[in-house]
Chain A
Amino acid sequence: MTHINNLKSIQYIIKKAIFTIVFSIVSLFSFANHDTTHLATANVHEENNGEEKFDINKTIMEHVADAHDWHLWGHTSIHLPVILYTNKGLDIFSSGKFNHGHDIYVGKYAYKMEHEKIHAVDENGNVLEDVSVLDFSITKNVATLLITVFGLILIFLTVANGYSKRGIGAPKGIQSWLEPIILFVRDDIATPNLGKHTNKYMPYLLTVFFFIWFNNMLGLIPFFPGGANVTGNIAVTMVLSVITFVLTNINAKKAYWSHIFLPHVPLWLYPLMIPVEIIGIFTKPFALMIRLFANITAGHILVLSLVCLAILFKSFAVGFATTPLIVFISAIELLVAFLQAFIFTILSALFIGMAVNIETEEAHH
């Protein structure tokens, strides 16, 4: 019996090892491929002696930041639409017109893209400082957001369809796969914090949980349609945390405000306490915003740094050495992807719950 078990565990280890190697090679190549193209395009500066210099900082920052083109492989990119709004109105054109920042596109103004930032320029290529260009482009992150929206709608309409088809019967397929997670959000995240208000906030909590998780996971895929650092972008996390902030404060009970403006401290402490409490209203969602952004961005930077090591040293040996490390970090990032979705959701539930259930809490004191 033990012999068979041993055999099985050996088989399992071999399978895992093969999977690991394949996965790491794939991830290495897709990243490496990506970076070599950059070697050819932007990130290489010819030094005086003719040697190529690889700017690791710039590469990583470019990967972590948003982009107007979605790079696929080699010299192949998807040119996403650029939408600009200036005092002359809307300008919509393909980002291919910029030719990765080399060319100037002339619409209502002449536009130049520098480090993914679009400026209006005059005929000589000098930036017009007094013209503000609002960039509503469908960037890589926006495109990923659209994929997320369609993906999540498709997935959860399928799940909902399963319920309408099978009624209260046993779940099947994707429905049975996602049901425990939905129940987890309801029973372990929402109900303990929100109590009798749970049902009201369930749509937001479920949406925010699956939105963050799905995007975190997409971000871990190193090639199309993944790779965008959506939840590691401060604009996205800002939107999410502002929604939590608004939900917290517009639904807050009277006791929540009296706790802020009439705290249970001696009167002479009021000048100190009230500002602290007011700052506290903002720090909670602010921390939410920074936490998600920093965690996901840090993960991306970590993986990218390890990948760049092989390119920096121009050595296959270094690549083989860092590969297990990359796999390990990627596995941790899988965990972090779930964990950060969970933390954002549970803290949102907690903040909202503290504001709407404060009466019952006061009664305990």
Chain B
Amino acid sequence: MELVTPSIGLLFWSALAFFILMFVLGKFAWKPITQALKEREDSIDEALKSAETARKQLESLKTDNERLLQEARIERDKLMKEANEIKDQILAKAKSDAKSEGDKMISAAKEAIEMEKVNAMNQLKTQVANLTVDLAEKILRNKMEDRSLQEVFVNDSLKNITLN
């Protein structure tokens, strides 16, 4: 029976001891411990979450990059095509320009040649005429005494020359 009869002394001391223990531990141990545990859990949670968002961001960055690359490729192709076109245009224009310039030069040269030719022909004509006249004079001086005959002969000769 004594075993199940609580003694007043132990009741008092155990209550006192327990309350002191609870007070001291509650203030200096449980509070900082539970707070630190909570903080750590929160930080782990946060770290996991931020890792997840980082992963997602990386993924979106990757797709972004791919998209940008694709766009750049398309842009490059477009630019190349345009450049090719411009090059063709320039070449064609240069060709046509050169051709027209050449044509112009050729025609000018032709004109000049024609003119020179006419000049040369005229000079030749005068020279031939002079030579002919000289020659005819000499021949005629030697052969023709008759004045009328001379005139007929000269006129005929001249006619022939003009016809040429």
Q: Mark A residues whose CB is within 8 Å of B.
A: 61, 64-66, 83, 115, 117, 134-139, 141-142, 145-146, 148-149, 152-153, 156-157, 159-160, 163-164, 167-168, 179, 182-183, 186, 199, 202-204, 206-207, 211, 230, 233-236, 238-240, 243, 293, 297
Contact = CB atoms under 8 A, between A and B. Distances in A.
Contact of B13 (A64, A142, A153, A183): A142
Contacts of A134: 8-9
Interface of B: 2-15, 17-18, 20-22, 24-26, 28-34, 36-37, 39-40, 43
Contacts, number: 122
Contacts of A138: 13
B12 to A, nearest CB: 6
B8 A136 contact: yes
Given A65-B2, A168-B36, A236-B14, A157 B8 contact: no
A160 B32 contact: yes
A160 B11 contact: no
B39 A168 contact: yes
A142 B29 contact: no
B25 A139 contact: no
B18 A207 contact: yes
A207 B26 contact: yes
A207 B21 contact: yes
Given A203-B30, A207-B26, A238 B39 contact: no
Contacts of A238: 6, 11
B72 to A, nearest CB: 45
A146 B37 CA distance: 29
A243 B21 CA distance: 14
B18 A142 contact: no
Chain A at the B interface: SS class: helix
Contacts of B26: 203, 207
Contacts of A239: 11, 14-15, 18
A115 B14 CA distance: 21
A139 B7 CA distance: 11
Contact of A234 (B3, B17, B39): B3
Given A156-B25, A186-B34, A240 B11 contact: no
Given A186-B37, A238-B6, 15 more contacts: A65-B2, A66-B10, A115-B2, A117-B2, A136-B8, A138-B13, A145-B17, A163-B33, A163-B36, A168-B36, A168-B39, A182-B33, A199-B34, A234-B4, A239-B15
Contacts of B5: 234
29 contacts: A64-B3, A65-B2, A65-B3, A135-B9, A136-B12, A139-B9, A139-B10, A142-B9, A142-B10, A146-B17, A148-B17, A153-B21, A153-B24, A156-B25, A156-B28, A156-B30, A160-B28, A160-B29, A163-B33, A168-B43, A179-B37, A186-B34, A203-B30, A206-B25, A211-B18, A233-B10, A234-B6, A235-B11, A297-B3
B14 A66 contact: no
Q: Which 7 A-B pairs have the closest CB atoms?
A: A235-B6, A203-B26, A163-B36, A156-B29, A235-B10, A168-B40, A145-B17
A239 B12 CA distance: 9
Contacts of A235: 6-7, 10-11, 14
A203 B18 contact: no
Contacts of A160: 28-29, 32-33
A179 B41 CA distance: 13
A35 B24 CA distance: 39
Contact of B18 (A164, A233, A234, A243): A243
A183 B6 contact: no
A91 to B, nearest CB: 13
A66 B2 CA distance: 10
B10 A141 contact: yes
Nearest to B16: A145
A147 to B, nearest CB: 10
Contacts of A159: 29, 33
Contacts of A61: 2-3
